[in-house]
Amino acid sequence: MKKTTLTAALAALVPPLLSAAVGVTFDAALTNTTDWVYNSDIKKNNTGYYVAGHSAMITSPRFDFAITSVVLKVKTTGSCTRNLIISAFNPETSATNLSQTFENIPQGEDCLEITAAWKASQKVTAIAVESNKGAQNLYFLSATISGVPLIDPPDGLAAPVVKRDGFTLRWDNPDGAVSNRVEIFEIVPGKGDKGDSVEYDFSDFRNDTGNARDATDEFTNSIPAFAGSSLIRLPANSAGMIQISKDDTKGYLVHSGFADFSGMSLTVSARIPTDSQGKTFGIGYIAADGATNEVASLPLSLDFVTNTVSLADVPQLAPIIFNTQGANSKRIVHVDYLAFSDTSACVPPATNIVASFTTTSRTGTCRGLNRGTNYLVRVSAFDAEGNESDFSDPLAVRTLSTIPTKITLR
């Protein structure tokens, strides 16, 4: 059985953090002229967007993160070379600075990758791409723009006061923070990946007397989970299998049952000892009113045949019954292997946001929560321009389930 602690599951539970990296294809970007701006020297043909004049500029919108790199894929045609200039751009003033020039881009059939980079501290939030020199086409095929948040996330998130209906939070803000966003998620329990398998191969059951005899005591003493009947028998001089009934008497074997059969399956290996015997072996369960209900009727032959049967429709705690009711004549069935397996898939815990608020204080209190419940908390920061940071590392908090009734002073 696999066990996952609350803290180990945090990374999977927290919703995706703010991403400060974007991918832009010029085919999409340049058709959206409300964001990207380009002049009449930018054309398009079957190859893509290209510079047709001696001085053409493309400008981006302002992004909500500090750009640290721009990777352009370009290609040229014609006999002369081109220059490419990538600059930081101010959409309000249309001014450029921090320019990087890539000279004499040669003609070639293959794409050329050009990278411009800035420090996060330079806070480049928009770019301009300009081409000059030469008359041949310079194609812009794609761009990848990457960056980091303009403001660092808070750290030191803690819950110094925890009560039954809520808790108080505190954290440390980065430089430049003027307010915070607090988000609280309730953890919705999932179903663990139990993966249990209980196997019985009956290797401990032997009959050294040479005669078939009642094996109920040996069976139930060795495997207490089974509650058998006097008709569970071992074949003479046998090992590693059990015989259910003999002669023309109906025999059966009963398993005490599991708490939950959803996702459970049963594997059984059985046979008949002679071809004149019956050809089926019944598997069912005992209902609350004592009635037996069939789950499957398995075919039998002279060789051991292994079958797997779903138990998903069996009620909780219902005893499983193996019987020779369907066998004709002498109803003898040999069983050499049983395995109960939980094949249910793991359902991981989920999160459900229960509170979100902004505050200008480095503390926050949330009330109205459920007692004895697990919660996740995360905090982001805003600067004076409204830029938001990534969220802090998540904090797991469990509200109290009871109030202490006895307090001892030390």
Cα of first residue to Cα of last residue in the chain, in angstroms, is: 42
Domain count within the chain: 3
pLDDT bin (cut points 50, 70, 90) of residue 158 is: very high
Tell me how far apart the alpha carbons of residues 255 and 321 are, in angstroms, rounded to a whole number: 6
Q: Would you give the DSSP letter of residue 238? A: -
Q: 138 forms bridges with which residues in the sheet?
A: 51, 76
Q: Are 311 and 296 in contact (CB under 8 A)?
A: no
Q: Are 168 and 399 in contact (CB under 8 A)?
A: no
Tell me how far apart the alpha carbons of residues 377 and 183 are, in angstroms, rounded to a whole number: 6
- For residues 177 and 255, membership in a common domain is answered with no
- For residues 211 and 276, membership in a common domain is answered with yes
pLDDT bin (cut points 50, 70, 90) of residue 6 is: very low
Q: Is 338 within a domain?
A: yes
Q: Is the pLDDT of residue 167 over 80?
A: yes
- For residues 319 and 352, membership in a common domain is answered with no
CATH code of the domain containing 369: 2.60.40.10
Region of 11 on the Ramachandran plot (φ > 0 left; ψ -120 to 50 alpha; else beta): alpha
Q: What integer pLDDT is reported at residue 69 of this predicted model? A: 87
- For residues 335 and 321, membership in a common domain is answered with yes
Q: Is the pLDDT of residue 241 over 80?
A: no
Which whole number is the average pLDDT over 43-52?
A: 73
pLDDT bin (cut points 50, 70, 90) of residue 15 is: very low
Comparing 114 with 359, the larger pLDDT belongs to 359
- For residues 27 and 138, membership in a common domain is answered with yes
- For residues 315 and 386, membership in a common domain is answered with no
Q: Is the pLDDT of residue 307 over 50?
A: yes
Q: Are 162 and 307 in contact (CB under 8 A)?
A: no
Q: 281 forms bridges with which residues in the sheet?
A: 298
Q: Which helix (H) or strand (E) holds 23?
A: strand 21-24
Answer yes or no: pTM beyond 0.85.
no
Burial of 245 (0-12, 13-18, 19+ CB in 10 A): buried
* CA separation, residue 358 to residues 14, 184, 230, 361, 363 (Å): 19, 12, 72, 9, 11
Comparing 332 with 152, the larger pLDDT belongs to 152
Which whole number is the average pLDDT over 390-398?
A: 91
Mean pLDDT of the chain: 75
Q: Is 334 within a domain?
A: yes
- For residues 96 and 126, membership in a common domain is answered with yes
Q: What integer pLDDT is reported at residue 185 of this predicted model? A: 94
- For residues 94 and 129, membership in a common domain is answered with yes
The distance of Cα 122 from the centroid of its chain, to the nearest Å, equals 37
Domain boundary among 148, 177, 209: 148
- For residues 121 and 172, membership in a common domain is answered with no
Q: Is the pLDDT of residue 208 over 70?
A: no
Q: Is 14 within a domain?
A: no
Q: Is 362 within a domain?
A: yes
Q: Is 13 within a domain?
A: no
Q: Is the pLDDT of residue 410 over 50?
A: no
Which whole number is the average pLDDT over 54-60?
A: 75
Tell me how far apart the alpha carbons of residues 147 and 144 are, in angstroms, rounded to a whole number: 10
Q: Is 409 within a domain?
A: no
Q: What integer pLDDT is reported at residue 149 of this predicted model? A: 79
Domain boundary among 296, 322, 342: 342
Domain boundary among 342, 368, 387: 342
- For residues 161 and 203, membership in a common domain is answered with no
- For residues 334 and 357, membership in a common domain is answered with no
Of 75-79, 99-103, 269-273, the range with the lowest mean pLDDT is 75-79
Q: Is 12 within a domain?
A: no
Secondary structure class of 21 (helix, strand, coil): strand
CATH code of the domain containing 328: 2.60.120.260
Phi/psi for 357 (5° steps) reads: -150, 160
Comparing 79 with 253, the larger pLDDT belongs to 253
Highest mean pLDDT among 22-36, 222-236, 380-394: 380-394
The distance of Cα 13 from the centroid of its chain, to the nearest Å, equals 8
Q: Is 122 within a domain?
A: yes
- For residues 186 and 208, membership in a common domain is answered with no
Which whole number is the average pLDDT over 42-58?
A: 72
Q: For residue 171, what are the domain limits?
A: 155-190+348-398
Tell me how far apart the alpha carbons of residues 133 and 123 are, in angstroms, rounded to a whole number: 29
